[in-house]
Every structure is written in C-alpha cells, then in structure tokens.
C-alpha cells in the first residue's frame, strides 16, 4: 500500500514514487500499514538524555500520515515523522502493540545498531535463498511478458550449455522455468506485500 498522494499547488499530485523510474534509481516510500519496517518517529521526552536525530531536515516528503524521510548511515531505513513533529527533534520511535510488533522491534534494533556503529543484524524477512529465487522469478516473468519462450528464458538464466545438456521437452530446467514464471504471477499481482512481514505461525 503506497502512501497517499499529497495534492500539489498546481492541482496535480505529488506521488511517493515516479512510475517512469526504476525503483533502483529512486527512493520508494511505503505506508507503515503495508511495511512494518517504516519507523514512526517522535520526540524524545525532555526528562531523558538527548538521542541522535533519526532524520535530517532535508529531503522529507509530506503525506497525510506525516513527513516521510530516508535515514542513511549504516543502513537505509524509512522514517515517518508524525504530523506536527519537528525533524531535528525526532529521536524516539513509537511501537504500536499490534500484530506487527515483532517486525517493528527488529527494524528498530537494526537502526539502533547502525546508529551505534555496531554490526547490523541481517533483515530476516527474506532469506538469501528467497532473494535469489525472487530475482530469477522476476527475470523469468519479465522475459515471458516480452515474448520469450521458456527455452530462451532458460538459456538466459542458466546458460546455453546447461540447456543443451538434456532434451528440452523432458528437461528439468524446462520445469524449473515454468515454475518460476507461474510463481512470479502472485507476487506481481500484489503478493509481494507479504514479503514485507515475517511469516506468522498459526
């Protein structure tokens, strides 16, 4: 769920991401309703010692939820400064006691580790294996959407030598490519949002 657009003075909308640009070339901002790793920033109470500011005043982006900013330093983290907060005083994080609390705590811990120059715990929502498989799934789906055959996709992913090593109609690579394309469809149709949370045990 992307953040809601803020109307601009010209009557258009200032969206959180430009559809014409790759996500690799811009910061894509999430709503905390969709991504529990978005940290809700607030002021530190005056009776506590001062803490490092979570977001620089420059580069914030307004939305109905508050001011969105990207923290860089050790890790990249999205910060949401709640409405009315000042960027130079945002040095505390609110943790709602909802079902996403474990994910939020993990995100806060990773930011705290980065702020204190400690080894940052790996984001455990996606395992290295899942990351590699998702990359293959997206490449396979992109190739299929652009008219490539399953065999052409297999050559692009695994190399011509491996594809030629066995008859294509009974090849295990053929089954693998078909599985990648079919598995990609649910992610493309919105299932990718499930990757933003840890799996919940029933």
Read off the pLDDT of residues 1-15 as tens digits, 9 standing for 90 and up: 444 444 333 333 344
pLDDT interval class at 144 (50, 70, 90) = very high
171 and 108 together in one domain: no
Q: Which of 84, 116, 148 is the last residue of a domain?
A: 116
Q: How many domains does the chain have?
A: 2
Residue-wise pLDDT for 182-194, tens only, equals: 999 999 999 988 9
What pLDDT is stored for residue 67 in this prediction?
A: 84
What per-residue confidence (pLDDT) applies to 88?
64
102 and 168 inside one domain: no
| Cβ atoms 153, 143 nearer than 8 A | yes
Q: Which two tokens stand for residue 177?
A: 């490519």
Measured in whole angstroms, the distance separating CA 137 from the mean position of its chain's CA atoms is: 17
Q: Which residues of 48-81 are buried (b: 16+ CB within 10 A; e: fewer)?
A: eeeeebbbeeeebbebebbbbbbbeebeebbbbb
Which residue range is the domain that position 188 belongs to? 128-195
- Judged against a pLDDT cut of 80, whether residue 37 lies above it is answered with yes
Are residue 76 and residue 102 in the same domain, yes or no?
yes
Are both 112 and 138 inside the same structural domain? Answer: no
């Amino acid at each position: 769920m992307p953040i809601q657009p803020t109307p601009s003075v010209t009557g258009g909308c200032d969206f959180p991401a430009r559809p014409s640009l790759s996500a690799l070339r811009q910061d894509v901002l999430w709503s905390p309703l969709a991504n529990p790793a978005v940290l809700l920033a607030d002021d530190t109470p005056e009776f506590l010692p001062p803490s490092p500011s979570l977001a620089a005043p420059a580069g914030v982006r307004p939305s109905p939820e508050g001011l969105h900013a990207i923290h860089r330093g050790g890790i990249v983290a999205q910060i949401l400064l709640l409405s009315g907060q000042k960027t130079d005083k945002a040095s505390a994080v609110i943790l709602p006691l909802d079902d996403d609390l474990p994910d939020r705590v993990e995100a806060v811990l990773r930011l705290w580790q980065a702020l204190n120059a400690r080894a940052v715990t790996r984001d455990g929502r996606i395992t290295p294996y899942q990351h590699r498989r998702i990359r293959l799934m997206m490449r396979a789906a992109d190739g299929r959407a652009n008219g490539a055959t399953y065999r052409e996709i297999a050559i692009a992913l695994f190399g011509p030598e491996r594809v030629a090593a066995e008859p294509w109609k009974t090849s295990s690579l053929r089954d693998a490519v078909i599985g990648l394309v079919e598995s990609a469809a649910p992610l493309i149709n919105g299932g990718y949002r499930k990757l933003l949370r840890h799996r919940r045990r029933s």
